[in-house]
Structure 1
Amino acid sequence: MKKKTMAAILGVTILASMSTGAYAATKLQEIKAYLNPGVKVKVNGTLVQLKDAKGSAIVPIEYKNSNYVPARAIADALGVAVDYDQATQTIIFGEKVEGTALSVGFDDMYYTKDPAFTSYKGKDYKEAYFNNGTGDRSVNFMLHPNKQYQTLQLQIAAIGSDLKNITVKDTKKDIILKEVELIKAEDGLTTIEVNVGGVEELFVEGSISSGGTVFVPLTTSHYK
């Protein structure tokens, strides 16, 4: 289950905090609402106390039979990063990247949200491609930019064994767009940049020896 907002879990509506400058730039309407301390919040079956940025306890606001809570309180309760872009008045949950994360619509048998597999060198990326299959093998997955982007920033790490002969292929035109001979386990997270302008479908492939794992953080790998 994706942790997009508390609306997906509790059916409540997000209320973002904005600065005085942001208020001046919007067409706000005054409303009459009520603090409702009777509303409790559970995350994965455990009761939690929502808190503001200063650590003070907060309660939901009730307005027209809907409960409103600050976005930051929800993000903290779920363990998800949150930011607010004042210029575009956009609430950003999860990793902040300058494009569209590969996690959007990614589909593969090695896709995971299990924290045991989404963390790399102490950082939890929340969603990842984690290929820990057995034996000497090919590792591969599909991507679908659908001609919407110019660049792919693909992050890959090899764990336990080196990743070899990495190719990124335009499957519709049968053209190899990028080749990387080797990503060593000691290299850490490596970024591969690929020009994907006009490309509909990509096939990413490499090979790894027995005992090796391929890790791709899907929240920070992205299209631009």
Structure 2
Amino acid sequence: MKKKAFVAIISASMLVSMGTGALAATKLQEIKAYLNTEVRVQVNGSHVDLRDVKGNVIAPISYQGANYFPIRAISDALDIAVDYDETTQTIIIGEKVDGVSIVDGFKDMYYTKDSAKTTYKGKDYKEAYFNDGPGNRSTSFMLYPNKEHQTLYLQIAAVNGDITALNIEDSDTNTTLKKIDVIKAEEGLVTVQADIAGVKSLYIHGDVKSDTVVFVPLTTSYYK
């Protein structure tokens, strides 16, 4: 069973525990339930310990013949992104309908708002990663999806040369999530898609030769 289908089935009966904001809701109903430490969970044939946001192993709540876990614990076990919109009190599992720009919180020495550098082929993207460093070099930056997104859509262009060995990695586990052998200058602005479910931080890096510029429009690169 695919991960998304599995989550869609079980999440309907999961206990919502996304934060203290939910406790302020006006339609809460008090119930009597029990912690059931005898229930064990397997994912794809392997036993897993479900954990809360602090890393503590948790047991399900048994109520009227059903077992309830926090959605966050299930999503972490399945590497499915989960987030909570406090405004609409909506739990979002998997990809979001609207993309979230990677520009929020982006920090790097090559970050710029200079229109001379944020403009590519006549369009001003307002904010960009513009690596025009000297000589043959590695080009790299960090992103922090914080386990709240399913997919990264990264727009990137090579100018005056090629980008080789482009890697998108989970920086906490050093796991390669996406690898592109080469992005050629003549390809223009390309979109690289990577599954980032369950990932807190991303390390994105590649190699370029002298005079090559790496252009990433931050406003149109996004998470979903």
TM bin, normalised by shorter chain, reads 0.5 to 0.7
Which residue of 1 is the match for residue 119 of structure 2? 119
- Correspondence 1:131-170 to 2 at 5 A: 131-170=131-170
Which residue of 2 is the match for residue 180 of structure 1? 180
- Could you list the runs of 5+ residues in structure 2 that have no partner in the other structure? 1-87, 89-96
Counterpart-to-counterpart distance in 2, 1:206 and 1:137 = 9
- Could you list the runs of 5+ residues in structure 1 that have no partner in the other structure? 1-87, 89-96
- Deviation of residue 98 (structure 1)? 3.1
Counterpart-to-counterpart distance in 1, 2:173 and 2:166 = 18
Which residue of 2 is the match for residue 205 of structure 1? 205
Q: Secondary structure at the match of 1:216?
A: strand
2:98 is equivalent to residue 98 of structure 1? yes
Which residue of 1 is the match for residue 67 of structure 2? none
Between the two proteins, what is the percent identity of the paired residues? Answer: 54
Between the two proteins, the alignment pairs up a number of residues equal to 129
| Cα deviation code 1:123-178 (max 9, x no counterpart) | 00000000000000000000000000000000000000100000000011110000
Q: Which amino acid aligns with 2:195?
A: N
Counterpart-to-counterpart distance in 2, 1:173 and 1:167 = 14
Counterpart-to-counterpart distance in 2, 1:199 and 1:186 = 32
Counterpart-to-counterpart distance in 2, 1:191 and 1:98 = 17
Counterpart-to-counterpart distance in 1, 2:175 and 2:154 = 18
Counterpart-to-counterpart distance in 2, 1:120 and 1:98 = 24
Q: Secondary structure at the match of 1:186?
A: helix
Using structure 1 for the length normalisation, give the TM-score. Answer: 0.56
Which residue of 1 is the match for residue 128 of structure 2? 128
After the TM superposition, list the runs of 4 or more consecutive aligned residues in structure 1 that deviate by more than 4 angstroms.
none
| Cα deviation code 1:82-106 (max 9, x no counterpart) | xxxxxx9xxxxxxxx9311011110
Counterpart-to-counterpart distance in 2, 1:98 and 1:163 = 29
| Cα deviation code 1:177-222 (max 9, x no counterpart) | 0000000000000100000001001000000000100000000000
Q: Secondary structure at the match of 1:147?
A: coil
Counterpart-to-counterpart distance in 1, 2:178 and 2:99 = 20
